[in-house]
Each structure stands twice: as structure tokens, then as C-alpha cells.
Amino acid sequence: MPSRTHDVAPGASAPVARTTDPRARRITLVVNPAAGGGRGRRTAAEAASRLTARGMRVRTVETLDAEHAAQEARRAFDRGDVAVAVGGDGMLRILAGEAVLRDDAVVGLLPAGRGNDFARFLGLPTDQEAATETLACGVEALLDTGVARGSDGVDRTFLSIVSIGFDAEANRIANAAPPALGGLVYVVGAVGALAGLRPVPLRIVADGAERASTVLLLAVANSGAYGGGMHMAPHASLGDGVLDVVAVPHRGRPDRCGWRDRLRILRFLPRVFRGSHVGTRYVELSTARTIRVEADGPLVAYADGDPIGVLPLTISTRPASLRLLVPAAGGLRSGVDRPSGVAA
């Protein structure tokens, strides 16, 4: 599909410097047209209309792929615009990866994906009218991001959770499922991953402390939710400068998973949606600022819905590295640290 870029707001076309004054805010909507079965395109059109009616200058770009989205984010920041992700967590991750490289770049979000876990966990509005209002009148908050570095030396930004093992396999299967299934792709992913469950031997170095561990899954969390409402790390904060690490250890035979392992996961999964799994004997919890994870062979890790690298990976936190538009007052989820400088 060809790229389409158009300005929809009135006024002069010359770029202006970004300002923190919402009345002079310029917006570039970076749209995944396939997000949510086409919801991304509709969401962008409605938001552009509302923002233009307020006299704001709005530019809309439909992306071709991840690299094109990153390129358009860079162009938006060069213009002094707020780059707004119109799509799911994956689109927001791409824009955030460009924004953290600049001191003055600001990102916004119009949730239009299948799960919208990052928005829901933080407490950002998912209602389109309220989310558009945040773009128009919201304030900039500084949030932590995560970064995963592979053996290629490339840093890849993530916002929510790096997953290894069962949940990474479920993510892979869900991504391959027909988009028409909507939120059911997560169920398909979980069932498929359960059928192919296997132990994952890992070598982990967390803040300099090394240990070997065989797990069914390992999650390294900046934000606490993923997979369409699974609260894997419900106590994670986007303002504490640390990563929350959740592991489900494998306690059976080292070479395979039996029915007890599958039963453990079946008991574990419903609790994850409530966040009550953290108090069970199935789960090990820890925190770290930097964690290196190695495996005996190539193993793909996922984050924010997409592959983020092949082990070994070094996963670190970038404290207060992302400027994100949030509601000017109230609205952020109870139990999540409110970013410094934003009124409660």
C-alpha cells in the first residue's frame, strides 16, 4: 500500500519549534492502518477532525512498515511536532525508540491495537475522545523505558515486558493467527504454547549476581501488563528506575515438560489476569537495573508484541527517558507511580 501523508489543519505550512504550550502544539499522527482490524485508520481520521476543529495543526502519515514508522517519527521530531502512535503497543515502542535519542522529543498515544496494554496499565484513556483530548490538553510526563542489547550491539527500546519461554512462544503464535480473531489470538497463542511447553535453561546475571535457572517463562518488566490484559508484574512502576523480574521455575525433568508443568501453567494463567499470581509458590520475583540472559542455543525474546532479539540479551532500564503526553490531572492508574511534576 502506498504511503499517504497529508496536512489537515489550516494555517501556514512553515515548520515551527516545538513548544510545551498546548495551544501551540503541532501533531503528527503516525498510523498503523492495519491496527485493530482497520481501527487505526478510523481512529486517526476522527482525531484529526477533532484536533483541527480546535485550530491545531495536524499531519497524518500511514506507515508501510516499522522502518517507515521510525523514519516518520524522526521527521516529526525534526519539525518540532509531537509524534503520536495510532495503533498498538508495537507502534508506540517504535516511536519511543526514536524519542529517547532526543532530549526534546514528545510522544503521544491514540490506542487502536488489539490489547492496548501499555495504555491500560498506566491509566491513559483508551476512549478515543478522551485520548484525543489528552493530545490537545495533556502535559508531558517523564517515564522509564527499557532497552535490550543483543550480540549485534544494537540497543532496542521496549516499554512493557521482555518475555522468554512460554509467553514468548504464545506471542509468536498469536502474531501468526488470523487478524479476524481479534482478542482471541491471545487464547490461541496460550493454547499453542501450552501444547509445546518445554523447559528453558538460562544463565542469568542480575546486577552482577550470576545464577543458573531452568524456567517455564521469564518476564523482565518495565511496565506490568501485556497479552491483552495479563498483569504479569502488577507492582511494576514506570517511575522507579528498576525492572521487575518474574520467573516461573521448572521443577520437573530437565529435558521435558510433563502434565504437572502444564497444570502449573493452567493454574497460573487465570491468576495473571488478576495479578494474584505473585503471591503463589509457582512464581519467583526479583528486581534489577540490568539483567543479562543467556541460553545454550538461539532463543527469540519478545517485547511489546514483537520479536526484540535473540539471546543472549542484556536488558537495562533507562530512567525518566521518555516524554509522553498524559492527562493534565488525575487519571493514572492507582498503584503506578505518577511521573514527577504531574499533578494528581
Report yes or no: 18 and 74 within 8 Å, Cβ to Cβ: no
Is 306 labeled as catalytic in the residue annotation?
yes
Return the biggest CA–CA distance within the chain.
69
∠ CA(61), CA(20), CA(104), 5° rounding?
A: 70
Cell of 314: 542484556
Output phi, psi for 162, to 5 deg: -90, 125
Cβ neighbours for 234, distance < 8 A, ≥ 6 positions apart = 224, 225, 275, 278, 335
Report yes or no: 247 and 283 within 8 Å, Cβ to Cβ: yes
Cell of 142: 517523564
Per-residue exposure over 128-139, b if at least 16 CB sit within 10 Å of its own CB, e if not: beebbbbbbebb
Catalytic residue among 167, 244, 306, 337: 306
Report yes or no: 164 and 218 within 8 Å, Cβ to Cβ: yes
Report yes or no: 133 and 84 within 8 Å, Cβ to Cβ: no
Active site residues: 306
